[in-house]
Amino acid sequence: MARRQAIEGQKFKLMGVDGPRRHLSAKMVSSNITNEGAKHEIQVAYGIEPDSGRYEVDHLIPLEIGGADVRKNLWPESYDTQPWNAAVKDKLENLLHVEACAGHIPIEQVQKEIAEDWIAAYRKYLGEPR
């Protein structure tokens, strides 16, 4: 069991979190990036015009479900792609935050599902986007 927890902890460290956060609070509802330097680096690395409005530099594991505001947890996400885009992922993030805070889904599970395949997680909890 201890070895499994250590392995799981390593997965979360790769995504910029120290480990699964077991308790969420109202302080963790912000989804804004505070690391503006990392945001700019990502935009430049992907050839995205800063502040074009077509992309969001988003957290793979959202802050509201215990993700960290660090470069390795950030990625550019288009608003233009259909059907999977930043606005669609935001709906999933909001649902998972509510469900994890209510204790309906373990925080470790929501973090793992969104990090491994957020589209599959969306389909699991919300079906196909409309």
The model's pLDDT over 69-106, given as tens digits with 9 standing for 90+, comes to: 888 888 899 999 999 999 999 999 999 999 999 999 99
**Domain carrying residue 10:** 2-126
pLDDT band at 4 (very low <50, low <70, confident <90, very high): very low
Instruction: Give the long-range contacts of residues 33-41, CB within 8 A, separation 24 or more.
Output: 33/57, 33/59, 33/69, 33/74, 34/69, 35/69, 35/70, 35/71, 35/74, 38/70, 38/71, 38/74, 39/74, 41/71
Instruction: Please tell me the total count of domains within the chain.
Output: 1
pLDDT band at 24 (very low <50, low <70, confident <90, very high): low
